[in-house]
A and B are shown apart, each in its own frame.
Chain A
Amino acid sequence: MESGLNKNVFSKAPPLEGFREAYTICLADNALILGHRNSEWCGHGPVLEQDIAITNISLDLIGQARNFYQYAAVLTGNNTTEDSLAYLRDVPDFKNCLLVEQPKGDWASTVLRQFFFSTYQYFLYTQLKKSSDEQLAAIAEKSLKEVTYHLRWSSEWVIRLGDGTAESNARMNKAIDDFWMYTGELFVPAQYEAIAAQEGFGVDVSALKNEWADKVKNIFEEATLPVQENTFMQTGGKEGKHTEHLGFILAEMQFMQRAYPNSEW
């Protein structure tokens, strides 16, 4: 399209990158955006130890994002770098799911979203370790050890808050109402995910749904929280159709590179 203004978020333009690049970038975008969201807690956590916990989780996620971006940059070529992928793409180019870009909300929301996503990442990376692509398999193997900690930590917090006080239980229930509709997207493959699974370098995400639902059900039972069923599921993030929240994250995250191009630390 001619003008930037006409670059419709809902356009059906084919992806510029190949499927392997798109698949790798999707993995990176999910980790980066959630890492960035969680980092908003830095200095604002409910207690010091948990402030440190959530920012350590952010650091792991951003590290995983870097590994995926570095690989995507090699695949893409043309002087692409991990930084150009993170800092110089706009909203429709990002392939993260809608769940990770939602505002951090209160502690209950952050904990619940982390639990939903860590559960997903845990089963995803367990499968991705078997990828025919050696680099994707290696990143998954490395990341899985960290995600295991995230899942344990977030499961415990879901139980602690769900089965805690009337106030903490009410907040968890509200968080479930807010976020549940974004969980379906995790298991609906985008075109590049379907092809990645077919070709053996990616994971069939639709096959992770039952394991994910079982884990959530078990933890929710212990936390005395309700599992929602037959909810309308919001999708589109993986194809670049985002909620308004992503633009605000990028505005903050990309400000320096946009205002002072090629500036270095």
Chain B
Amino acid sequence: MSEVQKIEKQAVWNILETIMDPEVPALSIIDLGIVRDVQLQVSHCGGNLEGAVTITPTYSGCPAMDVIQMNIKMALFEKGFKNIEIKMQLSPAWTTDWMSEKGKEKLKAYGIAPPNSKQHVCTPDAFQKEESIQCPHCNSYHTKLISRFGSTACKALYQCEECREPFDYFKCH
């Protein structure tokens, strides 16, 4: 890869860092861990840079994915990357373990409890012991599950038994 392509590739990553998840605007799509790859090459005709950004959906039916794809194209277009294709990759399936540590801190500051690590991932067994989730407001672990499904596919609803505040938990997936 030429020096120019290397620099430009970093530029693309920097632009992607500015694109926020429309459902959870505290997180960039890099924090969320959905950008899997950036490929750039010099086009055969014209010598311009062209390429592809590969992303993976969080949930199959997440309506934010369409908006994110459009926002990526728009942001790159504005900065002069005109021929960028968005590729959707399903495997390996996205996991909250790909969320950055910085992203988890931003989530908590935003009032959403960040995901626990993957060993707590759900199995189909009924009435299993619930994960212990820390309240993002008062840091108490004395919290209870209200509903395993919340305001978006990626969240569950909890309530803190100490400060009584209800809160969203970005469930591990």
Contacts and interface: CB of A to CB of B under 8 A. Distances in A.
B147 A60 contact: no
Contacts of B151: 52
Contacts of B173: 145
Contacts of B93: 138, 141-142, 145
B60 A148 contact: no
Contact of B90 (A61, A138, A149): A138
A148 B148 CA distance: 12
By secondary structure, the B interface counts as loop
Given A52-B151, A142-B90, A60 B61 contact: yes
Given A53-B147, A56-B153, A145-B173, A156 B127 contact: yes
Nearest to B61: A63
Nearest to B89: A138
B46 interface: no
Contacts of A53: 147-149
A133 B147 CA distance: 36
Interface residues of A, number: 36
B51 interface: no
Interface size, B (range): 20 to 34
B59 A146 contact: yes
B122 interface: yes
Contact of B92 (A59, A60, A141): A141
A151 B90 CA distance: 21
A152 B60 contact: no
Residue of A141, A145, A159 with most partner-chain B CB within 10 A:
A145
Interface string B44-83: 0000000000000101111100000000000000000000
Interface in A146-165: 146, 148-149, 151-153, 155-156, 159
Contacts of A148: 122-124
A143 B60 contact: yes
8 contacts: A56-B153, A59-B61, A67-B60, A138-B93, A139-B90, A141-B91, A142-B91, A156-B127
The 7 closest A-B pairs by CB, nearest first: A63-B61, A63-B60, A49-B147, A138-B91, A59-B61, A138-B90, A53-B149
Given A53-B148, A152-B128, 8 more contacts: A59-B153, A63-B59, A64-B60, A66-B60, A152-B125, A152-B126, A153-B149, A155-B126
Interface of B: 57, 59-63, 89-94, 122-128, 146-151, 153, 157, 173
